[in-house]
Amino acid sequence: MLGTTLSFVAVNGAVRAAGSDLPSVQAAFLRFLFGVVLLAPVVPGLLRRRFPARIWGLFGLRGLFHAAAVIGWFYAMVHIPMAEVTAINYLNPVLVTVGGALLFKERFSWQRGAAVAVALIGTLIVLRPGLRAVEAGHLAQLFAAFMFAGSYLAAKRLSQDVPAGIVVAVMSLSVAVILAPAALMVWQTPSGTELAFLAMSALFATLAHYCMSRAFDCAPLTVTQPVIFLQLVWATLLGTIVFGDRVDPFVLLGGGLIIAAIAYLTFRDARRARQARK
């Protein structure tokens, strides 16, 4: 999980370093195009697979959610401090919990409700509406958090019928296809530096998902999930040292509350799973 957190922050740093000259939709398209290149060995076999129309519909829905999310995320990355992007992004698991209860009829106890409330308080501490200006970058990242949650819920439904590797590969391919028309409409010739950083973001994202899968194979969630807090630490350090972001203690406090809510939900679910196996 240490490698996972470092790799995800490296993705953020590469996107931030690529700059804001390219339109967000084009930058997102190029990042996923490079991702497709990395997955090229599995694409031919993927295209030969036969899935029912319902599964392809879910693939398309997930692609739409994820494409919208990465546009918002790319915009936020170059307009607000990296630590704030990371803190708001921690809302994803909480939103997935709520979505699971609404869409899949999963049990939503008062303890889950309390954890969601704590996470929302943490988000308000990060944003502090009324006490400071809430910028377009903050709204873009909030939008991205909701869209990523939709993507993960679609992936959860797909995981019941499709191997995880195929779900990831189709996501990269579908996002690139969905973003292509919009990217071509606003196309600007990227510099070699921009292409290099976007390629790095795709490479680090692939490495992050690999490290995360290995961590889940080697240790229980009760061990791996607390380490996720380090991602906020790395993002704060990278943003401050490399990009000159100001350290905001309210962002660390709010992000800590959101992570505490996630950790509680993780530990509680793991404990219930152990009890069910006895």
| Mean pLDDT, the chain cut into blocks of 10 residues (278 residues total) | 81 87 91 86 73 89 93 90 86 82 78 83 80 85 93 84 78 91 94 93 83 63 60 83 85 85 77 70
Is the Cβ–Cβ distance between 211 and 7 less than 8 Å?
yes
- Confidence at residue 223, expressed as pLDDT on a 0 to 100 scale: 55
Q: Of 78, 51, 69, which is closest to residue 175 (Cα–Cα)?
A: 69
Torsion angle (degrees, nearest 10) of CA 3, 9, 15, 20: -170
- Confidence at residue 246, expressed as pLDDT on a 0 to 100 scale: 84
The Cα–Cα gap between 2 and 53 comes to 39
**The amino acid at 16:** R
C-alpha to C-alpha distances, 208 to 30, 231, 247, nearest whole angstrom: 18, 12, 25
Report the domain count for the chain: 1
Could you list the residue range(s) of the whole structural domain that residue 143 is in? 2-277
